[in-house]
Structure 1
Amino acid sequence: MEVHEVTKRYPGGVTAVDGLDLRVHEGEVLGFLGPNGAGKTTTMRMLVGLVRPTSGRIRVLGHPPGAPRALARVGALIESPAFYPHLSGRDNLRLAARYAAVPDTAADRVLAEVGLSERADSPFRTYSLGMKQRLGVAAALLKEPSLLILDEPTNGLDPAGVSDIRELLRALGRAGRTVLLSSHVLGEVEQICDRIVVIDEGRLIADGTPDDLRGTLGQTVLLFDADPLDAAATCLRGHPGVRAVEPVDGRLRVVTDPALAAELNRRLVQAGIDVRELRPLRHSLEEAFLELTAPSRQQPAEPATTTGGTR
């Protein structure tokens, strides 16, 4: 799937997507992140032909979005799934299968794939929110799609429901499905996705693996196990490159510049302080996301990394 310099403007001058470049490679699970109003859902609607771009070029499996040849191989869950409340999950899927021109037996296959076989004959209205979301993913899988587009599949779910969807998406990734996943649950994206793109105000601002995105932060966090701890804290606070020193469970959490770890260790040793352990703490994806989308960063820019990207 390729998106090249795509812009979408609505009447009144609102620009939802602004010159976006995006590529999803075959067999990868791609996380599609951005704050509310960044243009994620508009982009996904353009990918399935529900919205036409103002300018730019989109190709889905080699075809224009919305073309029958593309739609035949794309499964999508855009926002909340809609089913008949009085029908069972199985009957809802059989009806969807007929609309998609696939055999009714596909319903049983996808119910098993999303773990709903035991509740297949229960009315949709009796389903929990997590089960409803899983049924929506099942409907998207009916055509055995080459590309699966999921917009916030964990939206509104409790922890158990989030866990259900996470395990389902992991299974889809292991099965070699190509998945474009929009989500605000960054921990889930970090665990599931091979690559992540971040957009803000309709523009691409980062593209890379989770490790790539964490690496865009201009600081590092070190954990020191030192004795005496109070003397170590005083010593480190006196260094101009140290931004914060905080005692945590008998150790020191130190926020500093990435290149200063060895120098800070020497400083402690030269002060007669016993350093028993020094290790870097891994940044969270959430920290990287917040820094990338901070107001001071919301100017058109090259992506933070270009691993697998298009720029």
Structure 2
Amino acid sequence: METILTIKNLDKVYNKKVHAVKNVSFEIYKGNVYGILGPNGSGKSTTLGIVLNVVNKTSGEYQWFNGNLETHDALKKVGAIIERPNFYPYMTAEENLKLVCKIKSIPLTKVYEKLELVGLLDRKDSKFRTFSLGMKQRLAIASALLNDPEILILDEPTNGLDPQGIRQIRDLIKIIASQGTTILLASHLLDEVEKVCSHVVVLRHGEMLYQGSVDGMLSTEGFFELKSENLNLLKEKLTQHVAVENILQEEDKLVVHLKENLEAKDLNEYLFKNGIILQHLVKRKNSLEEQFLELTKNK
């Protein structure tokens, strides 16, 4: 699989006091959607700033496209939005994008192609100052895509948007990814990463706590919710099962966490053989939020 970006032992210290990024290493492979997940101050934006050559690293290294290109040339194949959209307010969407094309020597036909992609072709003659925040963000994405980049980098792409705007940006990210563009986005929103990303890097206080697939982070053995007429007997028999790690009682049901995989039908059969008829049986997976809290609770 083609490597887009490699980061090794990246470190950033501000003013000899603030250790913003601590020995971070990960790789971005072509065709995936990566999320850098962490609360504000976790080092997400600093990491993006370093690889985009707008923040100086303290130590460590990174390379684009297997090191086949110098950073200056490599960044010509990168589209990025790391600040609020900044266009001329009294120019139209079309005029603003045409200006970007002229500056970057990009064919003007790309303007209409990208406006259509982000759902703004019918507003091409509207002035930028009339756009909602969500529309401004979509225009910024269109601008970042004008040169058909190999990878699109977005820093908190839905920040400040209303629910409709958030959904539009998320849907747009999925469309762009489906067309083969690799995406790297930084977010503090667990829901955002869970819904749009295939892979995730978790940062907290500049340290990397996890890297891998989102499914991998969620692929714990999960837990069951169970209910029967005799909760005490149910609890007793569950305690005797080799796959059960612990049991919690929540009002009139038991929450059973597992230490190894167990199918619902097998648990149901085991309990039936032990004289227990269930009124309720549901198997659930931990949410990304629960996994994140578990990952960061001792940090």
Indicate the TM-score class for this superposition, using the shorter chain for normalisation: 0.7 to 0.9
C-alpha deviation, 1:246, in angstroms:
2.5
Contact persistence 1:236–1:242 (CA under 8 A): no
> C-alpha separation between the residues in 1 aligned to 2:185 and 2:254?
34
Matching residue of 1:236: 235
The answer on whether the counterparts of 1:48 and 1:65 sit within 8 Å (CA) in structure 2 is: no
Structure 1 position 38 matched with structure 2 position 37? no
Equivalent of residue 278 in structure 1, options 274, 278, 281? 281
C-alpha separation between the residues in 1 aligned to 2:70 and 2:164? 35
Equivalent residue of 1:18, what SS?
A: strand
The amino acid across from 1:172 in the alignment is I
* C-alpha distance in structure 2 between counterparts of 1:55 and 1:41, whole Å: 17
The aligned residue for residue 168 of structure 2 is 164
**Is 1:257 matched up with 2:261?**
no
> Do residues 87 (structure 1) and 91 (structure 2) align?
yes
- Please say if 1:221 is aligned against 2:220: no
CA 1:77–1:260 in 2, change beyond 3 Å: closer, same or farther?
closer
- Contact 1:90–1:120 (CA under 8 A) maintained in structure 2: yes
- TM-score for both structures, normalised by structure 1: 0.83
1:308 matched to which residue of 2? none
CA distance in 2, matches of 1:100, 1:280: 53
Matches within 5 A, 1:1-311: 1-63=5-67, 67-215=71-219, 220-224=222-226, 226-228=227-229, 231-232=230-231, 235-236=234-235, 241-246=245-250, 252=253, 254-259=255-260, 268-269=271-272, 272-275=275-278, 278-294=281-297, 296=298, 298=299
Q: What is the letter of the counterpart of residue 203 of structure 2?
A: I
Q: Is the alpha carbon distance of 1:260 and 1:167 closer, same or farther for their aligned partners in structure 2, counting shifts above 3 Å?
A: closer
Which string of whole-angstrom CA distances, capped at 9 and with x for unpartnered residues, describes residues 213-246 of structure 1? 1235xx732122x442xx2367428966544223
Q: What's 1:303 paired with?
A: none
For residues 233 and 156 of structure 1, the distance between their equivalents in structure 2, rounded to whole angstroms, comes to 49
Unaligned regions of 5+ residues in structure 2, if any?
A: 240-244
Aligned-pair RMSD on alpha carbons?
Answer: 2.6
How far does residue 271 in structure 1 lie from its aligned partner after superposition?
6.1
1:236–1:268 Cα contact (<8 Å) kept: no
1:12-50 deviation per Cα after TM superposition (whole angstroms, max 9, x unaligned): 421111111011001111111112111000011111110
Q: Deviations over 1:234-291 (max 9, x none)?
A: 742896654422358xxx3514233496897578546633126634202211111122
Question: Bigger CA drift: 267-276 or 207-216?
Answer: 267-276
1: CA distance, partners of 2:169 / 2:232: 44
Q: Which residue identity is paired with 2:23?
A: G
Cα separation, partners in 2 of 1:129 and 1:65, compared to 1, 3 Å = farther
Quick one: distance in 2 between partners of 1:195 and 1:15? Answer: 25
Cα deviation 1:85-118 (Å, max 9, x = unaligned):
1111111111122222212222211111111111
TM-score under structure 2 length normalisation:
0.86
Give the CA deviation at 1:152.
0.8
For residues 182 and 219 of structure 2, the distance between their equivalents in structure 1, rounded to whole angstroms, comes to 25
Identity level (%): 39
8 Å CA contact 1:8, 1:16 repeated in 2? yes
- Whole-angstrom distance in 1 between the partners of 2:290 and 2:251: 20
Does the Cα contact within 8 Å between 1:74 and 1:148 map onto a contact in 2? yes
Q: 1:239 to 1:272 in 2, by over 3 A?
A: closer
Q: What is the count of residue pairs matched by the alignment?
A: 288
